[in-house]
Every structure is written in structure tokens, then in C-alpha cells.
Amino acid sequence: MELTLGITGASGTVYAYRTLQMLAASGAVETVHLIMSGTAATVAQVEMGVNLRDPNADKINRWLGLPADSKFIRFWRLDNLAAKPSSGSHKQAGMIIVPCSMGTLGAIASGAGTNLIHRAADVCLKESRRLVIVPRETPYNAIHLENMLKLSRSGAKILPASPAFYHRPQTIGELVDHLCFRILDQFDIPHSKNTVWTGEEVGEV
């Protein structure tokens, strides 16, 4: 399987980090085309203390803990509209945008994209490929909600960065992983079943 993953400047870089690690470990994904917005590196520095400015495949591999010579990540510049994900003739399973800023959401919803993340998402919609958008904002205003509804009606899957607690997480990492598992579910990519709801009744506490 081949996927595109976009990272924007919304809060929640750790979701992208863990999703990429899980995709690499899944055995189901051969290549990820990675695109980062201009502010994604700033947010990564603030939230995770990692320097992703002037990124390249080697720097991304080190960040993810992958071998230096790994070919799993194919990095594309944001302004490279000749990149593979920009064409519908390049076959792939779909795209994940995690986290997704409201600016990126609005650009895709309007159909007036100006960069490779916007274009790659538009390609997924026009080719009826899976597009998973993980918005990270609170509260949502009416424009945000209308844009999400427009994209949902166009075929995108809106998967907000909303943590669940039924698996009784003990760490922030467990909260993050649960959301990333839900992202992988959208492409039927195998992962740990530790947080899957079993349907068992919960007794009185």
C-alpha cells in the first residue's frame, strides 16, 4: 500500500509522529509520501522539541527512529506541484492529513488550493480515494463546521482529534495511540487491539 500524509501547523504533531511510526511498523504500507506545511516545523519544535526545519528524508527518518537508509518516507516540498501525489494518474490508497489546521481544511473545502497538501487532497476527492482529515481545533465556529460538512459530503472522512477514555488510558501516549489506531482503521491497516471495545458490560465500581 502507498499513502500520502500531510502535516499542517495545527497543534498535535505527536499524532502525525505516532501515525507515521505505526504505518512503518504495520507491514501493510510500503511508501508514505510526506508533505509538511510551512508552520508544521514551528509547531513540532514547540510541542516535541524536534527541529524539522529544512526537512529531508534523512532528518524525518531520524525523527521517527527509522534506519538512516530507509526508503519508507518519500519527502516532497510543499511548493512542488509536480510531485507524485499531485496527479490522479499516480495510484495510491489515499491520504491522511494529521493534524489538519482550519486554514488547510478551508482551502480544500473551497477547491482553491495553493500548495501540494491542498492539491493531493483534491486529487483523492476527485479520484474517489480515501481522504482522512484529522482536524485539531476547539471550539469549532460555524465556518469550520460547514467546511467539514462540505468535505464529508464530498467523500472525505472527518476524524477529529478527540480522545476516548473507555480503555482507561494511564498516559498521554495511550491517548495518542488510540486516536492513531482509529486513523489506521480507515485503511484497514493492522495495529494493536489493546484499545478495541470488546462489548463486555462494565460492572459497578
Q: Is the dihedral of CA 154, 73, 116, 148 positive or negative?
A: positive
| Domain boundaries, position 165 | 2-185
Name the helix (H) or strand (E) containing 204: none
| 195 found inside a domain | no
Cα–Cα dist 62/43, whole Å? 18
Number of domains present in the structure of the chain: 1
Counting beta carbons within 10 angstroms of the beta carbon of residue 110, is it exposed (0 to 12), middle (13 to 18) or buried (19 or more)?
exposed
Cell digits of residue 26: 504495520
Distance of alpha carbon 69 from its chain centroid, rounded?
Answer: 23
Residue 156 is predicted with a pLDDT of 98
pLDDT at 195: 74
Give residue 57's pLDDT. 84
For residue 198, the model assigns a pLDDT of 72
Residue 24 near residue 191 (C-beta atoms within 8 A): no
Tell whether 129 is covered by a domain.
Answer: yes
Asked if residue 204 is part of any domain, the answer here is no
Q: Which residues of the chain fall short of a pLDDT of 70? A: 200-205
Q: What is the pLDDT of residues 28-46, one digit of tens each?
A: 999 999 999 989 999 999 9
Query: What's the rounded Cα separation, in Å, for the pair 151 and 179?
Result: 20
- % of the chain surpassing 70 pLDDT: 97
**197 falls within a domain:** no
Residue 173, pLDDT score: 94
- Residue 68 domain flag: yes
Domain assignment present for residue 154? The answer is yes
CATH value at residue 16: 3.40.50.1950
Q: pTM of the entire structure?
A: 0.93
User: Contact at 8 Å (CB) between 123 and 87?
Assistant: yes
Question: For the chain, how far is it from start to end, CA to CA, in angstroms?
Answer: 44
**C-alpha span between 191 and 188 (Å, rounded):** 9
- Residue 202, C-beta contacts closer than 8 angstroms, at least 6 positions apart: none
Cell 508514505 -> residue: 32
Sequence-distant contacts of 117-122: CB under 8 A, at least 24 apart: 117/6, 117/8, 117/35, 117/37, 117/78, 119/81, 119/85, 119/86, 120/4, 120/6, 120/33, 120/35, 120/83, 120/85, 120/86, 120/95, 121/6, 121/95, 121/97, 121/156
Q: What is the pLDDT of residue 69?
A: 87
